[in-house]
Structure 1
Amino acid sequence: MGDFEIFGIPISLGTMIYQALIFTILVFLIKKLAMKKLLGILENRKTYIGQQLTIAEQCRSEAELKLAVQESLLSEARQIKYRSEIEAREILEKAVEEAKEIIHSARDEARRIRSNQNQNKGA
């Protein structure tokens, strides 16, 4: 009763109905018992990933802000260094100029003293 062949394979109608009934019961049980848990797990996972993405975005924003502050401080430090080098160069040039003036004045004073001494010896 109900036995037939498809592509040369013997099929029993009773076995096929039995398998369809078992499959339907299993699908119903899985849907009733496991689907809620699986959907809950998936929803929790989705929430967790969303939170992690938010945290990662905040960290990236903070890192960009800190990088901008660091670049600003570095730029300011470079400007201070540049101004200090210019000021040091100006101070050095002024000191050299003053030293030349002192040497020139000292030579003039030495000549004047020698000249006075020579005049005093001659007199």
Structure 2
Amino acid sequence: MLEFHLGTILFQLVVFILLMVIVAKFGVGPVLETMKKRQDYIDQQLDDAEKNRQEAAALLEKQREELKKTREEAHQILEAEKKRAEAQAQEIIAQAKERADRMIQEAKEEIATERDKAIASLRDEVAHLSMLLASKVLEREVNEKDHEKEIDAFLKQVGERL
């Protein structure tokens, strides 16, 4: 059956320990060192990624602020232009109204002047016709029938001139 020999067990134990030391020195050490380098590389990549994420977040926030500021400026510009356009429209309306009022006043003055001229002309014409009538009446003595003929002729003459 199975027998245990102390010498064989001790020899196997020494060989096992020796093998463990050799594997630890030449096998595990380089593997651990490679794993350590790989872990450092991964940690560095994670740190860089976090740093880049933070920079991207900061840049995104800065761009959002710039966009907001630009929109506000555009809104202010639009409002200012709207106010300027309204003021300009009011000015144009005021100028047009002033011009229309001035044209109306000039037309009224011109009408008054023409009316005065027409009245003066009519006065001159009436005076002239009155003098003609008076001279005809004085030239001859008129009876009632002749008087009516003269008045009719005079009215006819006046009608032709007007």
**Gaps in structure 2 of 5+ consecutive residues:** 118-162
1:7 is aligned to none
- 1:1-123 matches, within 5 Å, as 3-4=1-2, 21=12, 24=16, 26-122=19-115, 123=117
Tell me how far 1:73 sits from its aligned partner: 0.7
SS of residue matched to 1:71 = helix
How many residue pairs get matched?
A: 111
Tell me how far 1:13 sits from its aligned partner: 6.7
1:8 is aligned to none
**TM-score, structure 1 normalization:** 0.75
SS of residue matched to 1:55 = helix
- Identify the structure with the greater helix proportion: 2
- Identify the structure with the greater strand proportion: 1
1:89 aligned partner, one-letter code:
K
Residues 60-112 of structure 1: CA deviation (Å, up to 9, x unaligned)? 12112211211111111121122112212211211221121111111101111
Residues 4-26 of structure 1: CA deviation (Å, up to 9, x unaligned)? 5xxxxxxx879xx69x9398254
Tell me how far 1:119 sits from its aligned partner: 2.2
**Gaps in structure 1 of 5+ consecutive residues:** 5-11
Work out which structure has the larger RCO, using CA pairs closer than 8 Å and 6 or more positions apart in sequence: 2
RMSD in angstroms over aligned alpha carbons? 2.5
Identical amino acids, percent of aligned pairs: 19
2:140 is aligned to none
**TM-score, structure 2 normalization:** 0.59
2:64 aligned partner, one-letter code:
E
